[in-house]
Structure 1
Amino acid sequence: MTVEYPGKGDPARSLALLWRTSERVSRKGKPELSVDRIVRAAIEVADAEGLQALSMRRVAERLGVGTMSLYTYVPGKPELFDVMLDTVYGETARPEDVPGGWRGRLEQIARENWALYLRHPWLLQVAGSRPVLGPNVTAKYDYELRAVDGIGLTDLEMDSVITLITGFVHGTARGAVEAAQAESQTGMTDQQWWAAHAPFLSRISDADRFPTAARVGQAAGEALNAAYSPEHAFEFGLRRVLDGIEVLVRDRAET
């Protein structure tokens, strides 16, 4: 999977576009176009066809305008990509009253991020080491930090907890997206894949040669009705991650 890096455009132009500090449109600009409409069309292209299909020309085609019309509003694809990211990160719900204390708040954050990745699978191709410095990304980070503010953690630990939660969700969402795309990418359903491999399963499920794998594999398969369940991985892992954070919070309260 190709990794895309945000922030490759001109910093001044990207920030101006992200924060809408300069939205002056030339008289040649089409009145039916706007930055928001262009960004939404670009997101629709990425959702439907993947980031590999994203281009200024493809966005223009979706809008039914000439490619050069877009440049009146958006400097180029790198800057457009930054605004796409900031826009979709603005979709996560941020309720103030979440039951369950800090644990309930972190669970709500995890589920919102999980749903975001499933709506926009192309986000899994975006490197997270250089965040987009836009208003929605900033507001999302601020909201997520407030979930663990005032519970005894240091500022660094607060940041680390959010990184842990979002990193866990990123990994499990990748598995969910890959599982969902398996049929279209391979041309085989899960049932067809297992049927094709059934004649060879006896070699790797030999209880005498691989007793632990045979026992656990059978138990997991029967419980999940599949070799792998993204939903189970998410639910099980989220509980264990929150359990670990609870130990940290308890330790800080005792010191």
Structure 2
Amino acid sequence: MDETRVPDELARLWRITPESRLGRPARLDVARVVDAAVELADREGLAAATLPKVAESLGVTKMSLYRYVGSKDELLALMQDAAIGPVPSSLDGTGPWRARLRLWAVEQRDGLARHPWLATAPVSGPPKGPNMIGWLDAGLRALRESSLDWGAKVGVVMLVSEYVRSSAQLVQGLESGREAGQDQAAAERDYGRAMASLVSPERFPDAAALFSSALFEDTGDDTAQQDFDFGLDLILDGVAAAVER
């Protein structure tokens, strides 16, 4: 690709540096700006990673940042690509598609756990940055030994990725909604008991039967892991059926 024709926002995303100019070296670069923004988001949430706050943390003016980041939306794209990081070495190589795709999903979930704001950050289009493309490549490689065509492979990768993202959002929502110091199993037991006392079988017969069952009393120690595994297995079963067809 002719680098001179790459749009500025993509050049910054891929760290394609312009030709060097004579003079004093720049105090900042794209990487420092993005690192500062990610640090703010990790510490205070995505809403805190504004251009004025990033500038303040770096000791510069907001206007000076536009030399390195074209807009708030571009900053978010840079942050997402930086935070998801390179694909871990555990995803190198090939093998049975189901085991490889499961590992891909688990590694992606772990990446979202390191930067919780990633799960709720808006999606503004297909992957464009080098790290995002790396994860796409690893997902496609996981399916290399399947019989799926390219369209189906992309669809599977998107489906599994969105499931991981939604699962992370659900876990965050449940964590924020429970009492301080209360684990998820205890929160589910309290919820089940409260609903059992409110939901009448005359008005909600099947929901009442659910809440009067032992499901919420015996949830196990790590309900989030159980729920994640159950949903992922359902998706992988569907992919297996598509592969068989």
TM-score, length of structure 1 as denominator length: 0.76
Residue 92 of structure 1 contacts residue 116 of structure 1 at CA under 8 Å; is this kept in 2? no
For the aligned residues, what is the CA RMSD?
3.4
Following the alignment from structure 2 to structure 1, what is the Cα–Cα distance between the partners of residues 147 and 96? 13
Cα separation, 1, equivalents of 2:35 and 2:156: 32
Counting aligned pairs with the same residue, the percent is 34
Residue of structure 2 aligned with 1:236, choices 224, 230, 234: 230
Matches within 5 A, 1:183-222: 183=178, 201-204=196-199, 206=200, 212-217=206-211, 218-222=213-217
Partner amino acid for 1:159?
Answer: V
Alpha-carbon contact 1:86-1:137 (below 8 Å) kept: yes
Cα offset for 1:195? 7.0
Q: 1:115 aligns with which of 110, 114, 137?
A: 110
Distance in 2, matches of 1:25 and 1:85, equals 29
Q: How does 1:36-47 map to 2 (within 5 A)?
A: 36-47=31-42
In the aligned structure 1, how far is the partner of 2:132 from the partner of 2:22?
A: 29
Aligned to 1:4: none
Are 1:55 and 2:50 counterparts? Answer: yes
Shift, 1:178, TM fit:
0.9
Alpha-carbon shift at residue 102 of structure 1 (Å): 0.8
Q: Name 1:75's counterpart in structure 2.
A: 70
Q: Quote the Cα distance in structure 2 between the aligned partners of 1:219 and 1:194.
A: 10
- Partner amino acid, structure 2, of 1:245: V
Return the letter of the residue paired with 2:48. A
| Corresponding residue for residue 247 of structure 1 | 241
Give the corresponding residue for 1:22: 17
**What is the DSSP-based 3-state SS (H/G/I as helix, E as strand, rest coil) of the residue aligned with 1:224?**
coil
How far does residue 20 in structure 1 lie from its aligned partner after superposition? 2.0
Shift in CA distance, 54/248, structure 1 to aligned 2, threshold 3 Å:
same
The TM-score with structure 2 as length reference comes to 0.79
Q: Which has the higher contact order (CA 8 A, sep 6+)?
A: 1
Deviations 1:136-184 (A, max 9, x none): 222221121011123211111111111221121122111011112225x
What SS does the aligned partner of 1:219 have? coil
- CA gap of 1:197–1:224, structure 2 versus 1, over 3 A, is closer
Aligned residues: 235
Q: Which residue of 2 aligns with 1:8?
A: none
- Runs of 4+ off more than 6 Å: 190-200
Provide structure 1 residue ranges, at least 5 long, that are not aligned to the other structure: 1-10
The 8 Å contact of residues 34 and 73 in structure 1, kept in 2 or not, is answered as yes
Residue 58 of structure 1 and its aligned partner are, at CA, apart by 0.6
For 1:49 and 1:229, locate their aligned partners in 2 and report how far apart those are by CA, in whole Å.
27
Residues 135 and 25 of structure 1: is their aligned pair in 2 closer, same or farther, counting only changes over 3 Å? farther
State the secondary structure of the residue aligned to 2:83: helix
CA distance in 1, matches of 2:24, 2:37: 21
